[in-house]
Amino acid sequence: MVHVSATPVLALRGVSKRFGAVQALTDVELEVHPGEVVALVGDNGAGKSTLVKTIAGVHPIDEGVIEWEGKPVSINRPHDAQGLGVATVYQDLALCDNLDVVGNLYLGRELLHRGVIDEVSMEKNARELLSTLSIRIPSVRIPIASLSGGQRQVVAIARALIGDPKVVILDEPTAALGVEQTAQVLDLVERLRERNLGVILISHNMADVKAVADTVHVLRLGKNNGSFPVKTTSHEEIIAAITGATDNAVTRRAGRRDAEAAK
Amino acid sequence: MSDTSKTVQPDPGSEHQNTVAPSDDPTAAPVTVVDPRLLIRDEGLKGYVTEFKRKVKGGELGSLPVVIGLIVIWTIFQLQNDRFLSADNLSNISYYMSATGMLAIGLVFVLLLGEIDLSVGSVSGLASTVFAVFVVTHGMNGWLALFLAVLTGIGIGALQGWFFARIGVPAFVVTLAGFLGWNGLMLWLLGTSGTINIPADQGPIKLLGQSSFFMDQAIIGAYLLAALGVLSMLVGSFGEQRRRKAAGVPFRPTSEILLRVGALAVASFAAAAVLNNASGVSNALVIFLAALVIVDFVLRRTTYGRKVFAVGGGIEAARRAGINVPMVRITVFAISGGFAAIGGMFFAGQTASATLNAGGGNTLMLAIAAAVIGGTSLFGGRGTVWSALLGMLVIQSIQTGLDLLNMNTSIQYMITGAVLLGAVVIDSVSRKSQKAAGRA
Ligand SMILES: Nc1ncnc2c1ncn2[C@@H]1O[C@H](COP(=O)(O)OP(=O)(O)O)[C@@H](O)[C@H]1O
Ligand SMILES: [Mg+2]
Beta bridge partners of B196: B354
**Amino acid in the structure at residue B8:** V
CA distances from B382 to A143, A152, B312, B319, B374 (A): 11, 20, 8, 19, 11
Looking at B335-407, which runs of residues are DSSP E strands?
353-355
On chain A, the residues whose CB falls within 8 A of the CB of B35 are 138-139
What confidence tens digit (pLDDT) does each residue in A81-118 have?
A: 989 999 988 767 679 999 999 999 999 889 999 999 99
CA-wise closest residue to B383 among A98, A96, A145, A116: A98
In this structure, are strands A116-117 and A112-113 parallel, antiparallel, or unpaired?
antiparallel
- Using DSSP's 3-state secondary structure scheme, residue B344 falls into helix
pLDDT at site B4? 41
Residue A21, C-beta contacts closer than 8 angstroms, at least 6 positions apart:
none
User: Quick check: helix, strand or coil at residue B91?
Assistant: helix
Contact B5 A100 (CB under 8 A): yes
Q: What tens digit of pLDDT does each residue of B324-363 get?
A: 999 999 999 999 999 999 999 999 999 999 998 888 888 9
B309·A79 Cβ contact <8 A: no
Nearest-neighbour CA in chain B from A81: distance (Å): 10
Q: Do A143 and B439 touch (CB under 8 A)?
A: yes
Q: Output the DSSP codes for B201-263.
A: TSHHHHHHSTT-BGGGG-HHHHHHHHHHHHHHHHHHHHHHHHHHHHHT--B--HHHHHHHHHH
Higher-pLDDT residue of B46 and B264 is: B264
- Tens of pLDDT, residue by residue over B97-150, are 999 999 999 999 999 999 999 999 999 999 999 999 999 999 999 999 999 999
Alpha-carbon gap, residue B325 to B173, rounded angstroms: 19
The minimum CA-CA distance between A118 and chain B, rounded to whole Å, is: 8
Average pLDDT, chain B: 86
Q: Does residue B380 sit in helix, strand or coil?
A: coil
| Prediction pTM value | 0.82
The residue type found at B170 is P
Query: How close, in Å, is residue B249 to chain A by CA atoms?
Result: 6
Q: Which of B149, B114, B85, B164 is nearest to B338 (CA)?
A: B149
Q: How far apart are CA A43 and CA B366, in angstroms?
A: 55
pLDDT beyond 60 at B317: yes
- Beta-ladder partners of A169: A88, A200
When scoring A59, A77, A92, A107 by the number of chain B Cβ atoms within 10 A, the one with the most, hence best to mutate, is A107
b/e for B65-104, b at 16 or more Cβ within 10 A?
A: bbeebbeebbeebeeeeeebebeebbbbbbbbbbbbbbbb
Answer yes or no: are the C-beta atoms of B322 and B302 closer than 8 Å.
Answer: no
Three-state DSSP state, B28: helix
pLDDT tens-digit map of B283-310: 999 999 999 999 999 999 999 999 999 9
Asked if A145 and B439 come within 8 Å (Cβ–Cβ), the reply is yes
Compute the distance between CA of residue A104 and CA of residue B252 in angstroms, rounded to an integer.
22
* CB burial of residue B407 (10 Å; 0-12, 13-18, 19+): middle
Inter-chain CB pairs, A–B, below 8 Å = 146
Please say whether the beta carbons of B274 and B91 come within 8 A: yes
Look at residue A252 in the predicted model and tell me its pLDDT. 56
- CA angle centred on B3, ends B46 and B376, rounded to 5°: 105
Are B314 and A132 inside 8 Å of each other by CB?
A: no
Q: Of A205, A42, A70, A90, which is closest to residue A28 (Cα–Cα)?
A: A42
| ipTM > 0.95, yes or no | no
Say what the pLDDT of residue A236 is. 85
Q: Best mutation site among A139, A154, A191 for testing chain B: the one with the most B CBs within 10 Å?
A: A139
- Nearest ligand, CA A44: 1
Residues whose CB is less than 8 angstroms from the CB of residue A119 and which lie 6 or more positions away in sequence, other chains included = A102, B4
Show the low-confidence residues of chain A (pLDDT under 50): 1-2
Q: What is the mean pLDDT of residues B84-90?
A: 94
Distance A171 CA to ligand 2 centre (A): 7
Q: Looking at per-residue confidence, does B49 or B366 come out higher?
A: B366
Distant-in-sequence, close-in-space partners of B395: CB < 8 Å, separation ≥ 6: B97, B100, B366, B369, B370, B373, B419
Q: How far apart are CA A207 and CA A182, in angstroms?
A: 11
**Per-residue DSSP letter, A213:** -
Look at A246-250, B154-158, B220-224 and tell me which has the smallest mean pLDDT.
A246-250
Q: Using a CB cutoff of 8 Å and minimum separation of 24, what contacts does A195-198 make?
A: A196/A34, A196/A35, A197/A34, A197/A35, A197/A165, A197/A166, A197/A167, A197/A168, A198/A8, A198/A9, A198/A10, A198/A32, A198/A33, A198/A34, A198/A35, A198/A36, A198/A38, A198/A166, A198/A167, A198/A168
Residue B35: closest C-alpha in chain A: A138
Burial of B406 (0-12, 13-18, 19+ CB in 10 A): exposed
Within its chain, how far is the Cα of B200 from the centroid? 28
Ligand nearest to the Cα of A46, by number: 1
Residue B21's pLDDT is what? 36
Give me the pLDDT at residue B151, please: 98
Look at residue B273 in the predicted model and tell me its pLDDT: 94
Summarised one tens digit per residue, pLDDT across range B235-257 is: 999 999 999 999 999 898 999 89
Q: Looking at the predicted structure, is the pLDDT value of residue B195 above 60? A: yes
pLDDT attached to residue A89: 87
- pLDDT, tens digit, 9 for 90 and up, residues B378-436: 999 999 999 999 999 999 999 999 999 998 888 888 888 898 898 889 888 888 777 77
Q: Average the pLDDT over B157-182 and give the result.
A: 97
Give the minimum alpha-carbon distance from B176 to chain A in angstroms, rounded to a whole number: 28
- The strand pairing partners of B419, in sequence order, are none
Q: Which residues of A touch B306 (CB under 8 A)?
A: 99, 103, 107, 110, 117
> How distant is the alpha carbon of residue B90 from its chain centre?
19
Please check the confidence at residue B152 and state whether its pLDDT lies above 70. Answer: yes
B381/A78 Cβ within 8 A: no
Q: Please give the Cα distance from B343 to B175 (Å, whole number).
A: 17
Shortest CB distance from B310 goes to which of A96, A134, A142?
A96
User: Pocket around ligand 1: residues whose beta carbon is below 6 Å from it?
Assistant: A 19, 22, 24, 42, 44-50
Q: Are B126 and B152 in contact (CB under 8 A)?
A: yes
Is residue A35 within 8 A of residue A3, CB to CB? The reply is yes
Asked if B247's CB is within 8 angstroms of A137's CB, the reply is no
Ligand closest to A92 (CA) is 2
Distance CA B410, CA B397 (A): 18
Q: What is d(CA B344, CA B124) in angstroms, rounded to the nearest whole number?
A: 4
Locate the chain B residue with the closest alpha carbon to A107.
B321
Segment holding B99, helix H or strand E = helix B87-112
Beta bridge partners of A235: none
Atom number in ligand 1 closest to CA A20: 4
Residues with Cβ within 8 Å of B99's Cβ and at least 6 positions away in sequence, in order, are: B284, B343, B346, B347, B349, B350
pLDDT of residue B15: 37
pLDDT at A246: 57
Which pLDDT belongs to residue A90?
78
Nearest to B247 among A88, A121, A135 (CB): A121
* Three-state secondary structure of B137-161: HCCCCHHHHHHHHHHHHHHHHHHHH
Q: Which amino acid is at A220?
A: R
Task: Write out pLDDT tens, residues B2-18.
Answer: 444 444 444 433 333 33
For chain B, give percent helix, strand, coil, nearest 5.
Answer: 70, 0, 25
